[in-house]
Amino acid sequence: AQSVTQLGSHVSVSEGALVLLRCNYSSSVPPYLFWYVQYPNQGLQLLLKYTTGATLVKGINGFEAEFKKSETSFHLTKPSAHMSDAAEYFCAVSDRSGSEKLVFGKGTKLTVNP
C-alpha cells in the first residue's frame, strides 16, 4: 500500500523567505508524485507533478520539487515566499496501476508573515 507523510502540519515563513514543505512517500512501485494547493473553501489546484524523466520538476507560481528516490522524498520549495502563497499544500502519490487513485498526505498549512 502507498502512503504519504508530510512533516509539519504548519509551516510559517516570512515574506521573501525560502519555502520548504516536506513530503516523503512509501510505494512498492515507481510512483507518480503530485503537489496540490488548496485555498480556503476551494478545491485543489495542481502545482506540479513528477511522472518520469527529470527529477527536478518546476510548477506554477514559482514552486519546484525534486524527486529523490534514495530518500523517498518529494519536497516542495520556493525561493521567495509571497503573501499569496498562504494556503494548504497536499502531497499525493499514485501507483501507476491504471486506476490512478491518489493517496494524499495530511497537508501542510503555510502561513506567510509580512
Distance CA 30, CA 83 (A): 35
34 binds other proteins (CB under 8 A): yes
Nearer to other proteins, 81 or 105 (CB): 105
Among 28, 54, 99, 114, binds other proteins (CB under 8 A): 99
**E strand spans, the chain:** 3-5, 10-14, 19-21, 24-26, 32-38, 44-50, 56-58, 64-68, 73-78, 87-94, 103-104, 108-113
Among 13, 85, 90, 112, binds other proteins (CB under 8 A): 90
Among 2, 64, 104, 111, binds other proteins (CB under 8 A): 104
Rounded to a whole number of angstroms, the minimum distance from the CB of residue 31 to other proteins is 11
